[in-house]
Structure 1
Amino acid sequence: MRKEYRIKKNKEFQDIFKKGKSVANRQFVLYTLKQPEQAHFRIGLSVSKKIGNAVTRNRIKRYIRQVFHELDEQIHNEWDYIIIARKPTAEMDFFEVKQSLTHVLGLARVLKKSKNMSKTVELEKRTH
Structure 2
Amino acid sequence: MLAKANRVVRADDFRTTVRKGRRVSTRHAVVYLHARSFGEPTRFGFIVAKTVGNAVTRNLMRRRLRSVGRDILDQHSTGTDIVIRALPGSDEVSWATLHDEISQGIDRGVSKR
| Normalised TM-score (structure 1) | 0.77
Moved more, 62-71 or 77-86: 62-71
* 1:4-23 CA-partner distances (Å, limit 9, x unpaired): 32112221111112321111
C-alpha contact 2:52 2:91 (8 A) present in aligned 1? yes
C-alpha contact 1:38 1:79 (8 A) present in aligned 2? no
Partner of 2:12: 11
Q: CA deviation at 1:46?
A: 0.3
- The structure with the larger Rg is 1
C-alpha contact 1:26 1:88 (8 A) present in aligned 2? no
* Paired residue secondary structure (1:87): coil
* Paired residue secondary structure (1:16): helix
Once superposed, which parts of structure 1, at least 4 consecutive aligned residues long, lie more than 6 Å away? none
Partner of 2:28: 27
Runs of at least 5 residues in structure 2 that lack an aligned partner in the other structure = none
* RCO comparison, higher one (Cα < 8 Å, 6+): 2
C-alpha contact 2:5 2:41 (8 A) present in aligned 1? no
